[in-house]
Structure formats: C-alpha cells, structure tokens
Amino acid sequence: MKTILLVEDDRRIVRALDFRLKAHGFGVRTAFDAVNAMNEALSEVPTVIVLDIYLPGGSGLMVGERLRHDVTTTDVPLIFITASRQPRFRERAAELSAAAFLEKPFTAGELLDAIELAEHGRRWGYGDEMSAAA
C-alpha cells in the first residue's frame, strides 16, 4: 500500500485529508510537529511526504532539508502546503526539489493530483502544472 506521511499541526485539516486520502487507497501516517515528522519519516519511509511550512518545533522547510540530506529519504517526493503567500517559501521548496507546493485553501482533489504527479516524477504548483521534476 502506498503511504502518505501527512505533517500538519491543524488537526481539522489532518482529519479531512486523512479521510480523503484513505478513500483513495492510501495508507496515512501523521505527525503534528517537526520532531515527530523526522521520526515518522525515518522509521518507515513513506511513498510521499506532505509538509506544512509552519510547524511546532521547526519549519516544514527545515524538515524537508533534513530529509533531502538523509540517504533514507532523499528521493521521497515532498509536497509543501502553507497558508502563507510569501514567494520565498515557494522558491525554497523548489530548491529542495519539492514535487509540489500548494497554498491553503486547496482542495483534496488538488492534493491528490499533486500526489499522483509526484509519484511519476512530475511537479505541481510552480506555474506549469505538468513540468518535469528538477
């Protein structure tokens, strides 16, 4: 079973996405802060990691950077989500070769599309939604 690690501190968002992802056949593991995100990602490597930018204990971008530098998770697609409109976050996500960058509010369908593209080495949320991954 394909597994999504969903890292988000807003439990309402986690519940809604957990339900939709499971309905589409994914196994879902969750973490609500940066420390647990690292532990979960390294304990059982997921198919895709969805990371909120703002997390207790550190940013999702920091977690993403650490995951990129760990041989166990370096190739796991990362999808960043945020309510922020700061262009520097999108730029940093691109530097980390993130598969997708979604601004809240986004639909579960958009996330599912981003996951599907990520699984095929494609990118979402950088202007050309069908661009090849860097």
Q: What is the pLDDT of residue 129?
A: 46
10-residue mean pLDDT series, the chain (134 residues): 96 96 97 98 97 97 97 96 94 94 94 93 63 42
pTM of the full structure: 0.91
CA distances from residue 83 to 46, 64, 78 in whole angstroms, order as listed = 24, 17, 17
Helix (H, G, I), strand (E, B) or coil at 101: strand
User: Which domains are delineated in the chain?
Assistant: 3-119 (3.40.50.2300)
